[in-house]
Structure 1
Amino acid sequence: MQRYEEAKKRIRGSIAPIITPFFEDGTLDLDSLENLINWHIESGSHGISVTGTTGEPSSLTIDERVRVMERAKDAVGGRVPFVPGSGSTNHEETLYLTKKAEELGADAALVIVPYYNKPSQHALYKHFKAVADSVSIPIIVYNIPGRTGTNLEVKTLARLNEDCPNIIGVKESNKDFEHVNRVLLNCGRDFNLYSGIELLCYPMLAIGGAGSISATANIAPGKVAELHDAWFEGNHEKALSLHYELMPLNDVLFRDTNPAPVKAALGMLGKIKPVLRLPMDVPSKEIQDEIRQVLRQYVEVSVE
């Protein structure tokens, strides 16, 4: 139990969900992944996550997911918490990847609600309990109903929190702010709540959240981390100002399906080749022009 309480205290702030870089031919570009991780840590990100939604896990083979996790863990080198995404629509794959995360020495595993098959609440409870029981590392449940087609209800999460001591928190990519409030009411104020909705990062901190796992951190890691630092230091006015300052960037990065705009922006910044695997693709020229225009508000480098 002490281990999990320590994890709750350590895994806070901006946990950056890193994209998975590809070469032009679609193969993994692990050197660029390592460079991105170093840039994030140097910029102040409080933690690193890979192979979550922004990391295109459904476009990766199981072997590739493990390779990304391994390289990321080595790149992080214990400097900040490492929280790989290990969830899948397949239960056995989820068990396998979560155990791999434990073997690698991850600080926690981020496990998404299974997508496409739309399980019942009872089935979700059984799935997450089996995953939690299979490892000793902390688990952060990932609820993103807009992409999974299923909402993990508060009563189900509260039951998991009661029965699984290593389930330490939830990433809520849920626009229902009443739901999010009820998570902490029913799971306890010491349950770690992370925002996965960019415009709710600040509001979730205000109700007692532990941080965010925000795609915007891929582009402005320093500012997203600074928002959290300001909040935890009690400078709420500064945090609120950063919240509004980041809103145009938040908006433009979701003009197309994540992570397409994020990869386009990172390409404009010279960080990666903006390559996605089909059925995902880069945004239209119109959206790319919007991204380029908004980026100029945040960076001094050329984004032509």
Structure 2
Amino acid sequence: MTHDIDLSGVYPAMCTPFDENERIDFETLREDAQRLESAGVDGLVPVGSTGESATLSHDEHVEVVEAVIDAVDDVPVIAGSGSNNTREALELSERSAEAGADGLLLISPYYNKPEQRGLIDHYETIADAVDLPQIVYNVPSRTGRSIEPDTAIELASHENVVGYKAASGDLGQIGEIAEGTRSEEFAVLSGDDALTLPTISVGGTGAISVAANIEPERTCAMVGAALDGDYARARELHHELGPLFRHLFVETNPIPVKEAMAIRGYGPARLRSPLSRLSEEYRDDLEAVLADLERSDAESTTSADGGPEAGR
């Protein structure tokens, strides 16, 4: 089929909030989806790595997808539905499609470390069976195996494989995939906030972003400026966000971003075991980074309203 989903812009990789009994806090989840939609994001990605999908049951996984879909009005919802078991990934993908997801994000099989031919078989099995736009997700630091450029380029020829989330940290590899898929309707999306701007510069179309949970407007402004070719503005915003990018990865994602969500009042910092709360040694610095961003927002607003900064 021809998919009409536009995989450009900013897609926050959403957190999954939990209550004091480690049950999913659906009310907070829906409020968060609405907050992000109101901030101008281009879509939402629940139940990925940031959404602690590894600790959710299959039923919980689908319930989160359904809750996010029900909460928003006009943005696509891309459901994380990957697994290291092809049959399990296929089941999650089919159930996400039945729930109404607009697309799928599929992490490459982790732990069992398939060869490249196994990766192709895995993704093609799901793409043949589920008629939704699908994004291949490469994050070798979590999976132990990288999706090589030739593999990604071959998969891009499948009509249902429409994008690639790049979280390898290898800009050369990312550029090679963007180069090799220029003749396809194929999106290369940054999966590493610190590399979003460089990724766009070599042909990327946007980001599946952790930082956008905290600073959605500024992240959207950075990506929008870059896609419009205004790299001076995009670089300025990239540097404003740089401390946040770094502090959101001082410990395993989503530990820091959940702490930042709690500091901002967007949701609880609770995580399911084996993940634990952010170490105290990092919390003060994270609070300071968030305060600096809020301060700069306030100064920009004052300037725009004709306050003390206006006319300087």
1:253 maps to a residue whose letter is L
Partner of 1:118, secondary structure, is coil
Structure 1 residue aligned with 2:133: 138
Return the alpha-carbon distance in structure 2 between the equivalents of residues 181 and 229 of structure 1.
20
After TM superposition, give the deviation of residue 231 of structure 1 in Å: 2.2
Aligned partner of 2:22 among 16, 26, 33:
26
Structure 2 residue aligned with 1:118: 113
Q: What TM-score do you get using the length of structure 1 for normalisation?
A: 0.94
8 A Cα contact 1:138 1:167, kept in partner = yes
After TM superposition, give the deviation of residue 16 of structure 1 in Å: 0.7
2:280 maps to a residue whose letter is K
After TM superposition, give the deviation of residue 289 of structure 1 in Å: 1.5
5+ residue gaps, structure 2, are 298-312
Pair member with larger Rg? 2
Structure 2 residue aligned with 1:233: 228
5+ residue gaps, structure 1, are none
Structure 2 residue aligned with 1:211: 206
1:119-268 aligned within 5 A = 119-162=114-157, 164-188=158-182, 190-268=185-263
C-alpha distance after superposition, 1:122-168 (max 9, x if no partner): 11111000010011111110000011111011111112122x11101
Structure 1 residue aligned with 2:35: 39
Partner of 1:55, secondary structure, is coil
2:146 maps to a residue whose letter is N
After TM superposition, give the deviation of residue 109 of structure 1 in Å: 0.5
Return the alpha-carbon distance in structure 2 between the equivalents of residues 279 and 183 of structure 1.
35
8 A Cα contact 1:11 1:81, kept in partner = no
Return the alpha-carbon distance in structure 2 between the equivalents of residues 32 and 20 of structure 1.
9
Return the alpha-carbon distance in structure 2 between the equivalents of residues 246 and 232 of structure 1.
17
8 A Cα contact 1:48 1:76, kept in partner = no
Aligned partner of 2:292 among 293, 297, 302:
297
Return the alpha-carbon distance in structure 1 between the equivalents of residues 154 and 38 of structure 2.
39
1:151 maps to a residue whose letter is S
Q: Tell me the number of residue pairs that the alignment of Structure 1 and Structure 2 aligns.
A: 295
**Aligned alpha-carbon RMSD (Å):** 1.4
After TM superposition, give the deviation of residue 184 of structure 1 in Å: 1.4
After TM superposition, give the deviation of residue 226 of structure 1 in Å: 1.0
C-alpha distance after superposition, 1:74-129 (max 9, x if no partner): 1123x112111010122112101111222223221001101111111111111000
1:76 lines up with 2:72 in the alignment: yes
Return the alpha-carbon distance in structure 2 between the equivalents of residues 34 and 298 of structure 1.
25
After TM superposition, give the deviation of residue 252 of structure 1 in Å: 0.5
2:179 maps to a residue whose letter is L
Return the alpha-carbon distance in structure 1 between the equivalents of residues 148 and 224 of structure 2.
30
8 A Cα contact 1:113 1:141, kept in partner = yes
Partner of 2:156, secondary structure, is helix
After TM superposition, give the deviation of residue 199 of structure 1 in Å: 1.1
Structure 2 residue aligned with 1:55: 51
Partner of 1:117, secondary structure, is coil
Identity of aligned residues (%): 37
C-alpha distance after superposition, 1:164-218 (max 9, x if no partner): 1110110010111111111012222642000001111011111111110111111
2:11 maps to a residue whose letter is I
